[in-house]
């Protein structure tokens, strides 16, 4: 294998900015190369595509765009990619102690639970940060993202049941699919009632809302580069342009076209 081919087989990690207050990086992890290593400082991982299980010792935690990972310092970790053929893409924030204390009040609290629910506004900020070309804008987005990382009060479990993990993997594997609850439960070998109750206890939301969050997260990633919103709506599994727009506005307080224009303008203004 030549050097060029070897480079294409590697994971990608790039710096978005380093203000001294916050270091922001993006990692694109290939399916066959799940990252592993040691954390030297406290970090947040906001995953915007794919899913993985984050393992420290015997503790294994599911991470995807519905959750923010709070990784403690001085720990050895291994990521496990859980959806066949799918790696993950994340923005990694390494904040200084002063930034955490000033923004959160208590720098220790978010790391005690390892994962917190991720708002769609946090996903929107991630997409704008990835594309920001002006250093000042990127640094302001990083601060806003740290603020938003602790904004969601919904509780999520660090140790969800096997049927819940498998249900989430199925939705990631076929995000546009129109599954019925009975179909998913049957595939997992459990009853619809058992799956519904287990999922709600683990995620704090029902299955259908989890699927909607995944779809809208993908929309935030793809919209800035797409002209045909109707085509994208069908691609994401929405029944119509109006269905997509209503869901988007309900969650983010703006239309898809407004978000697209705003994100594009941030890049063109740089």
pLDDT digits (tens, 9 = 90+) for 101-147: 999 999 999 999 899 999 999 999 999 999 998 999 999 999 999 99
Spatial separation of the C-alpha atoms in residues 63 and 83, rounded to whole Å: 12
**Together in a domain, 204 and 232:** yes
Spatial separation of the C-alpha atoms in residues 217 and 215, rounded to whole Å: 5
**Together in a domain, 95 and 229:** no
For residue 139, the enclosing domain spans 3-148
Q: What value does the mean pLDDT take over residues 243-258? A: 95
**Together in a domain, 134 and 15:** yes
Return the minimum-mean-pLDDT range out of 42-56, 93-107, 152-166: 152-166
Return the minimum-mean-pLDDT range out of 8-17, 34-43, 46-55: 8-17
Q: What value does the mean pLDDT take over residues 150-178? A: 87
Spatial separation of the C-alpha atoms in residues 138 and 131, rounded to whole Å: 9
Total domains in the chain come to 2
Give domain status of residue 153, yes or no: no
Banded pLDDT at 176 (limits 50, 70, 90): low
Structure-block tokens of residue 198: 């287990």
Order of strands, edge to edge, in the sheet holding 52-56?
Answer: 36-39, 75-81, 52-56, 59-63
**Together in a domain, 137 and 166:** no
**Together in a domain, 71 and 142:** yes
Q: What value does the mean pLDDT take over residues 143-156? A: 95
pLDDT of residue 80: 96
């Amino acid at each position: 294998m030549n050097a060029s081919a070897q480079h294409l087989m590697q994971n990608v990690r790039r710096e978005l900015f380093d203000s001294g207050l916050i270091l922001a990086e993006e990692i694109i992890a290939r399916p066959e190369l799940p990252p592993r290593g040691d954390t030297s400082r406290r970090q947040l991982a906001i995953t915007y595509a794919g899913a993985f299980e984050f393992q420290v010792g015997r503790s294994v935690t599911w991470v995807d765009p519905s959750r923010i990972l709070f990784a403690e310092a001085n720990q050895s970790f291994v990521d496990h990619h859980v959806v066949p053929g799918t790696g993950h893409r994340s923005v990694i924030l390494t904040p200084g102690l002063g930034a955490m204390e000033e923004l959160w009040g208590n720098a220790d609290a978010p790391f005690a639970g390892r994962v917190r629910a991720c708002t769609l506004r946090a996903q929107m900020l991630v997409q704008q940060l990835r594309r920001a070309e002006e250093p000042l804008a990127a640094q302001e987005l990083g601060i806003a993202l740290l603020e938003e990382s602790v904004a969601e009060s919904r509780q999520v479990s660090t140790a969800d049941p096997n049927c819940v993990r498998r249900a989430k993997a199925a939705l990631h594997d076929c995000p546009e699919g129109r599954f019925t609850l009975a179909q998913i439960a049957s595939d997992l070998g459990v009853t619809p009632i058992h799956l519904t109750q287990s999922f709600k206890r683990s995620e704090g939301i029902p299955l259908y809302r989890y699927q909607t969050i995944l779809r809208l997260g993908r929309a935030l990633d793809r919209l800035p580069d797409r002209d045909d919103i109707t085509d994208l709506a069908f691609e994401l599994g929405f029944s119509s342009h109006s269905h997509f727009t209503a869901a988007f506005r309900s969650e983010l307080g703006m239309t898809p076209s407004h978000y697209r224009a705003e994100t594009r303008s941030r890049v063109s203004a740089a």
